[in-house]
């Protein structure tokens, strides 16, 4: 599983990263989380509103900060 957090480093982006790391730890997953902060790369994903969460090369959420439980549901759906 490949997880990316797309965002420029704002507070919301940091909250998404924290929620994602919490969800991954609670599920006991051994995955690497990559932060993408380059605006051109973020736009290349088709994301116009950050933060965004990418799981296995698919944008599954953008423009809001989910709770760690929301992230767990997104991960479990994979």
Question: Annotated catalytic residue: which of 3, 5, 6, 13?
Answer: 13
Angle, CA 11 vertex, CA 44 and CA 33 arms, to 5°: 55
Annotated catalytic residue 27: no
| Nearest Cα residue to 5 out of 50, 46, 40 | 50
Annotated catalytic residue 21: no
| Nearest Cα residue to 4 out of 12, 16, 77, 29 | 16
Question: Annotated catalytic residue: which of 2, 8, 9, 10?
Answer: 10
Radius of gyration of the chain (CA): 11
Instruction: List the catalytic residues.
Output: 10, 13
């Amino acid at each position: 599983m490949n997880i990316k957090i797309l965002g420029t480093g704002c507070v919301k982006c940091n909250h998404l990263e924290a929620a994602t790391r919490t969800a991954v730890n609670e599920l006991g997953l051994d995955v690497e989380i990559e932060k993408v902060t380059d605006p051109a790369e973020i736009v290349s994903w088709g994301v116009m509103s950050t933060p965004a969460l990418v799981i296995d090369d698919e944008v599954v959420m953008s423009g809001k900060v989910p709770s760690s439980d929301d992230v767990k549901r997104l991960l479990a759906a994979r």
